[in-house]
Every structure is written in C-alpha cells, then in structure tokens.
Amino acid sequence: MALSTPVYLDNHATTRCDPRVVEAMVPYFSTHFGNAASRTHVFGRVAEEAVDKARAQLARAIGAATDKEIVLTSGATESDNLAIKGAAHMYRGKGDHLITVCTEHKAVLDAHHALEREGFRVTFLPVQTNGLLDLDVLREAITEHTILVSVMAVNNEIGVVQPLAEIGRLCKDKGVLFFCDAAQAIGKIALDVEKMGIDLLAFTAHKMYGPKGIGALWVRRKNPRVRLEPLFHGGGHERGLRSGTLAVPLIVAFGEAAEIATREMPEESMRIAALRQRLWDGLRANLDQVHLNGDWQARSPGNLNASFAYVEGESLLMGISDIAVSSGSACTSASLEPSYVLKALGVHDELAHTSIRFGIGRFNTEEEIDYAITRVTETVNRLREMSPLWEMVQEGIDLRTVNWTGH
C-alpha cells in the first residue's frame, strides 16, 4: 500500500475517530434523536437506554463497581475541575490542604491555582529525573489537613506511567482522597479503580478514538462514598453533579470507543509498542545526540519524547511539516517557553527546546514510522550542518568551557 502524507503521529493531542465508533453514533443524530431525560415517551426511553449501555461500557473499561458511579461531562478538563474543585469545596471542613505534581496537565495545575486564590494551601510535588513521583516525598507531604491528592496516570508529554496502586494504598492509609487524571491512560494501559485505590478518575473520548466534546468523571460511591460540590446548576442531571442535556450521540460513541479499547488493548498495545521501538531504534541508529525524555520502562506504549541536541525545535517542526508531531504538549504548544514538564525533569532549556513528542496510535503503520525516521534524520542533519555549535562539538570542543564574549 502506497504511503500517503501527511503522516499523523500526534495521537496524544487527539485521535482519529474509529469508523466503528462513528457507525454506532450516527443513528442517534437523526433516527434516535430523543432527549434521554424525557422518559414519558419512547423517543426519550430509547435515548436513555443507549446512555445506560454506554455508561456500563465506560464502567467496565476502568473496573468500576457500578455504572452509577459514572458522571458524564464535556471532557477531561471539565472532569478535572469538577473533581478537584468539587472535592475541595465539599471537604473544606475537614482540611484546606491539597497535593498535586508539578508535571500534571494544565487543567489540573490551573484548577489548583484557582483554589489557592480562594485560600486553599497546595503542595506541588517535584518528580525525579525519569518523570516518576517519589512515594517517600508524597508520604511526607501528606498532613492531617490534606483532603485530596491528584496524580495523573500517564503524562501527556513524556508518557510516563505513575505507580497508581502504590499511591492509592498510601492515600488510603492516610485517609485522603486520590484523584487521577487518566485522559492519556484510558485504552492504552490497564486501569482498575478498585485495585488501584482511586477515588475519582477523569477520562475523555477523543484520546481513545472517540469524538471530541465528551468525557466522564468516575466518582466512588462506597469505601469511601465521595461527595462533590457541582460546578454547574440546573436540571439536576447526573445525580445533581452535572446539569445539562446529555449529548446522546457522543455518549454512545464514547461507550463504543471504550468497548473497543478494552477488548483490543492487549494486542494493540504490543503492536504500538513495537512501532515505538522501531522509531527509537531508527532514530538512534541514524543520529548522534538524541536524548530520551522520561522513563523508558514505565511508559505508555505509543509515546516517544526525544530531544535532538543542537537543533532548534521550531525549525525541526517546520522541516518535517509533512509529519504531524508536537513540541511539548498540544494545549500549550503555542508558547515558545520550554516545556514545564521537561524543566521539571532537569532538562536544560537548550535541550528542552529541541524536544519532539511522537504519539503513535491505532492507525499508524510500519511504513509511516520508517518515513518519519528518514525525514527526521534528513532534517536534523541539515539543520546541524548549519549550526556553528554542532561544528564546534564535532571538533571536540566542550561548549561548557567556552568563554563567550559579548560585544
């Protein structure tokens, strides 16, 4: 099969909607168009049944005890805000201290900053150079005033998988709630909210081959029963936690995407991890001074985040414009600041500016990976040939010893 360009390797930003998901969703736009809250007639009941089925599919995908724990939202950003702000406001009588990690998604970090402005105290924990949280540091940070710990499952930039079960056990021992943003994890790694001791879990459809605009927050009902203050007020939908008419077509699609991901994940993860290995091996075989960002072992199958020394990241992106990748995280990539995630790992600014995030997914092929290796190699070599710094390095000069004089 002939390779078609551009090649899409930005599956952490969003994924293509699986044709099977689209097929499941389409009838609910026109044929089964009822409002799921209108239970007095057949149109509403058909819609409600479809929503119930999807809720059950979502619950199975994360190991939830009951589908009644699934609260449907507009996406992971809303779910993050509902979990963090909702728990903080509901449990303020117990304490005013929150803990999260400095490499979390902006939706989590900014929700915590908003709570700081309300008077809550927040501890932003550092990570180790491999991107993983040190559990001893977390243990020491928890106090009698701590009410919530927020740690993401898979980092959106470097793909590292945090030790969720260990964090869950630690939070249980200390009697604090554990919230997990699983937007990048759902359908990629095995998730089990019961086994992992998670109390609140946010996820979204468009990271797992579903449509944009639909997400969910799982809220534990037993041991302990988690209570949240809602962000929206209205008709009392979603057990009063998220008022608003349900987007039935998107919910049906979300459920179908979860069903497919749950069923196909073991085989799909192995295939995608093999493509990632092929990409990494190919880049290292052809180029010197390529640096991996984040732990290699504890990593989502489709993620490769690498820095190409002595190449300017924006120039590299322009040079491989027929390959869709990103520098840093897609939500903040308009900024020319180096990635805050890479800075937290201790990657210095010059190297952080050269980082590229490759996101490999369900529809990628070996031919596309080989094409990416060739194009990145050509472009990095061409840009380095234009770099006086690269020339000095090739001559054996240690740039750290150079005394740069100003004029």
Contact by Cβ (8 Å): 312, 353: yes
Q: What is the number of other CB atoms lying within 10 angstroms of the CB of residue 275?
A: 22
Q: Which residues of 14-24 are buried (b: 16+ CB within 10 A; e: fewer)?
A: bbebbeebbeb
Distance separating alpha carbons of residues 39 and 54, to the nearest angstrom: 17
Instruction: Show the tokens assigned to 182.
Output: 């699983």
**Which residue in the block uniquely carries the two structure tokens 């400095």?**
102
**H helical segments located in 246-365:** 248-286, 313-319, 340-344, 349-352
* C-alpha 302, offset from chain centre: 12
Contact by Cβ (8 Å): 70, 55: yes
Instruction: Show the tokens assigned to 342.
Output: 């890479």
Report which DSSP code applies to 33.
-
The pairing of strands 200-204 and 215-219 is antiparallel
Angle at 190 between CA 241 and CA 327, to 5 degrees: 85
Contact by Cβ (8 Å): 258, 186: yes
17 belongs to the catalytic site = no
Q: What is the DSSP string of 116-140?
A: HHTT-EEEEE---TTSPPPHHHHHH
Task: Write the burial class of residue 93 (CB in 10 Å: 0-12 exposed, 13-18 middle, 19+ buried).
Answer: exposed
Q: Give the helix, strand, coil percentages of the chain, each rounded to 5.
A: 40, 15, 45
Q: Which of 102, 171, 180, 331 is catalytic?
A: 331
Distance separating alpha carbons of residues 170 and 33, to the nearest angstrom: 46
Report which DSSP code applies to 239.
G
Distance separating alpha carbons of residues 233 and 231, to the nearest angstrom: 7
Which residues form the catalytic set? 331
